[in-house]
Amino acid sequence: MLTFFFAALILLFTGGPVILSLIGSMVPDRVLFDDGKGLFSEGLNFETYRYIFTGQLPDSYSAENANPAMISDAARQVPRSLLNSSIVALSSMALNILFGAPAAFAFARYFFPGKGLTFMFLILSPLVPSVALVTPVYIMLQSLGLTGTQAGIILVHTAKALPFTILILSVFFRKMPNELFEAAVLDHCSRFQTFFRIALPLSLPSIGATGLFAFMLSYSEYMFSMVLSGDAATRPVSVVMAALARNTDVSWSLLNTAIFIAIVPTLVLVVLVWRFVVEGLLSGAVKG
């Protein structure tokens, strides 16, 4: 019983804001701020969704006495920025898996000169405050002509998530039975064959989980995205949402709509990979 209580509590704190933003996006402001009306007394309203995707103003804000500041133009950038963030985050996730998994396998199973020093550098690098790196990273990418491009943001986001990817996967590779790799040596497998034929298939659930983290980290990152992004064509959703939230007069219904739309890609990704990751981890635990 206690387990269900804490599970429900965690669900309330994690899923509650998502549900509230969904409800708030479909309820007009005049209902949200009127104590005498129920949330669904006027039915559901999708005018803010229509404005974000088509630019058509909600009827309630087309009146003469309406406050035009409540409808922010930044909300119109949400669909484009959503695509930008999805491209950047998926690219960062793919690069983290592509470079992080082989690097983690090398750190976990082999000895090479400078292994301890380089691994310590990887582990300690995330401890450096991001604000201290903004200027040198900007100067470096500017010299390469990558400021204001998605490629520059992808490189930075990949570098930020790579230490975590290598750390987590190296722990998993280190726990694999030595007998598997000894058998591979007896079968005359090279190091690349050992990784691709043995380590990689067994580590797919862990790789999926770390890749999901890399996606989340990139999708929600703000500081480097703000500094390195250019115009609206390359601006990620985190930057657009910050600009939208800075408007103190913005419509609460519009803000909740933008928030819920921004959450959708992460929800879709979690639904797609969660079953695979959980089933793989559970099957691995049963086999062990």
Q: What is the pLDDT of residues 30-46, one digit of tens each?
A: 777 777 776 677 777 88
109 and 144 share one domain: yes
Instruction: Evaluate if residue 97 carries a pLDDT over 90.
Output: yes
Tens digits of residue pLDDT in 209-223: 888 889 989 998 998
45 and 86 share one domain: no
26 and 87 share one domain: no
Out of 4-13, 216-225, 240-249, give the one with best mean pLDDT. 216-225
Which has the minimum average pLDDT: 7-21, 76-90, 217-231, 267-281? 267-281
Tens digits of residue pLDDT in 164-191: 999 889 988 888 888 888 788 777 888 8
40 and 162 share one domain: no
Tokens representing residue 95 in the block = 């690069």
Band of pLDDT at residue 275, cut at 50, 70 and 90? low
Rounded-to-integer distance, Cα 80 and Cα 113, Å: 46
48 and 153 share one domain: no
137: left (phi over 0), alpha (psi -120 to 50) or beta: alpha
DSSP codes of every residue in 101-160: HHHHHHHHH---TTHHHHHHHHHHGGGS-HHHHHHHHHHHHHHTT-TTSHHHHHHHHHHH
107 and 218 share one domain: yes
15 and 35 share one domain: yes
70 and 104 share one domain: no
48 and 171 share one domain: no
112 and 178 share one domain: yes
Q: Which domain-ending residue is among 246, 262, 279? A: 246
Q: Biggest alpha carbon distance in the chain?
A: 82
177 and 233 share one domain: yes
- 7 domain residue, yes or no: yes
Per the listing, tokens 């722990």 go with: 171
Rounded-to-integer distance, Cα 32 and Cα 232, Å: 31
Compute the mean pLDDT over every residue in the chain, rounded to the nearest whole number.
Answer: 83
Domain of residue 84, residue span: 77-246
CATH classification of the domain holding 146: 1.10.3720.10
Instruction: Evaluate if residue 274 carries a pLDDT over 80.
Output: no
Q: Which domain-ending residue is among 45, 75, 105? A: 75
Tens digits of residue pLDDT in 117-152: 888 888 888 888 888 889 999 999 999 998 888 999
Cα–Cα nearest to 146, from 85, 67, 207, 230: 230
Q: CA angle at residue 43 from 22 to 268, to 5 degrees? A: 25
- 138 domain residue, yes or no: yes
Q: Residue 232: phi, psi to the nearest 5?
A: -65, -20
Count of domains observed in the chain: 2
- Check residue 158 and give its pLDDT: 94
128 and 106 share one domain: yes
Read off the pLDDT of each residue in 242-248 and give the average, rounded to a whole number: 78
